[in-house]
Structure 1
Amino acid sequence: MSRLWITGYRSYELNVFQEKDPKVEVIKRAVKQALRNQIEQGVDWLITGPQLGIEQWSARWGIDLKSDYPEIKVAIMAPFAEFGSQWNDDNKAKLSQLQTDADFADQVSDTKYRSPAQLRNYQEFMLMHTDAALFVYDSEYPGKSEFELKAAQQFAETHPYPVNIIDFDQLQEAANEYEEEQEEIKMQRNHEDS
């Protein structure tokens, strides 16, 4: 069994406020390709958190990949009880549906948020219960997942723990590919219409 921790930017850190934002499609392409590569190298559990953005999108895309890789399992681990309870109803419903669709969903701490120690315990839990990490993160654009990345890199100094990063250069490559494909589709439609 090989378990991959997936995390990265929150949606607001990417200025994404709607699922239909073209940035989501670009991120999806890059993350899904990275997940496919990890699965083909033996990863059978994709483990992420419940944060809006990379974590929830990755959980959804992991669930989508089950059609090609039925052996894959997806887990969503919250750092503490009642995570997201302050969110609006739409975001609460999305998280609830993801937790239902995942193979496993739980929380590291059974108490509501009380202190930053719960977040450190969450990082430690994720490091101890995964074999590698995948971050969507660019050090030139700091975000909240910087703390998880630093913890994973420190952990990797003393453990066999690969830390893979999808940075903005890789996302730009995915954007360029997406744009080229959209242009080809547009040209084909124009050709068919004429």
Structure 2
Amino acid sequence: MNRILVTGYKAAELGIYSLKHPGIPIIKKAIKKQVTALLDEGLEWVIVSGQWGVELWAAEAVLELQETYDQLQLAVITPFLEQEEKWSDEKKDLYASVLQRANYVNSVTKSKYDGPWQFKEKNKFLLRNSDGIILLYDEEKEGSPKFIKEQALAIAKTQDYRIFSITANDLQNIVEEEQMDQY
């Protein structure tokens, strides 16, 4: 497994509106755990589209892991140019910092936002150019990751495409582990 796509909910779908939300470090820790496990299997690239939410936090987690794992590379492949255009300055700064430190940055469509078709093209491209997916998604809380999960499942039926899930239970376990460590 060379290249893994990491995706999940947008921040608003999780009710996260602040960069200081206590859930962000928990999500990053869950992603780090999964990525670290895959490094033993030859993982080289983590790919995200850089959307505000799980993908940007995954990118931050990978950049933190790069301090320990030299071979780990980060690709940010956006659906369209300037996707951060309407974000707050604080979010734009974080995004710019991630793009600056990523090993590869590109855009599926070479224009600014033009319609929902760009998200569909992004999903197709990212699934086609990865060997598996880490998906932060909970079946009980439907949201935008549902569509890419369905596409990944369809691919997995015809070829070796691995799907790793991070669920609400996984996040809860990390919270409980951290609480145990504090005592």
TM-score (norm 1): 0.90
> Could you say which residue in structure 2 is the equivalent of 1:190?
none
- Runs (4+) of structure 1 exceeding 6 A deviation are none
1:141 matches 2:137: no
> Could you say which residue in structure 1 is the equivalent of 2:84?
84
Pairing of 1:65-84 with structure 2 (within 5 A) = 65-84=65-84
Question: Alignment RMSD, CA only?
Answer: 1.3
SS in structure 2 opposite 1:67? coil
CA distance in 2, matches of 1:92, 1:158: 39
CA distance in 2, matches of 1:145, 1:75: 19
Greater shift in the superposed pair: 15-24 or 135-144:
15-24
CA distance in 2, matches of 1:41, 1:19: 32
Q: CA deviation at 1:19?
A: 2.8
Q: CA deviation at 1:21?
A: 2.1
> Could you say which residue in structure 2 is the equivalent of 1:42?
42
1:125 matches 2:122: no
Q: Quick check: 2:29–2:61 contact (8 Å CA) kept in 1?
A: no
1:27-49 CA distance string (max 9 Å, x none): 22211111100112111000011
Q: CA deviation at 1:160?
A: 0.8
SS in structure 1 opposite 2:66? helix
CA distance in 2, matches of 1:21, 1:121: 31
Query: How many residues are matched?
Result: 183
Higher gyration radius (CA): 1
TM-score (norm 2): 0.95
> Could you say which residue in structure 1 is the equivalent of 2:6?
6
Q: Quick check: 2:27–2:57 contact (8 Å CA) kept in 1?
A: no
Q: CA deviation at 1:152?
A: 1.0
Q: CA deviation at 1:106?
A: 1.0
> Could you say which residue in structure 2 is the equivalent of 1:187?
none
Q: CA deviation at 1:115?
A: 2.3
Q: Which amino acid aligns with 1:16?
A: I
> Could you say which residue in structure 2 is the equivalent of 1:55?
55
> Could you say which residue in structure 1 is the equivalent of 2:180?
180
> Could you say which residue in structure 1 is the equivalent of 2:98?
98
Aligned sequence identity (%): 29
1:77-104 CA distance string (max 9 Å, x none): 1001121211122211211111001111
SS in structure 2 opposite 1:46? strand
> Could you say which residue in structure 1 is the equivalent of 2:18?
18
Q: CA deviation at 1:139?
A: 1.0
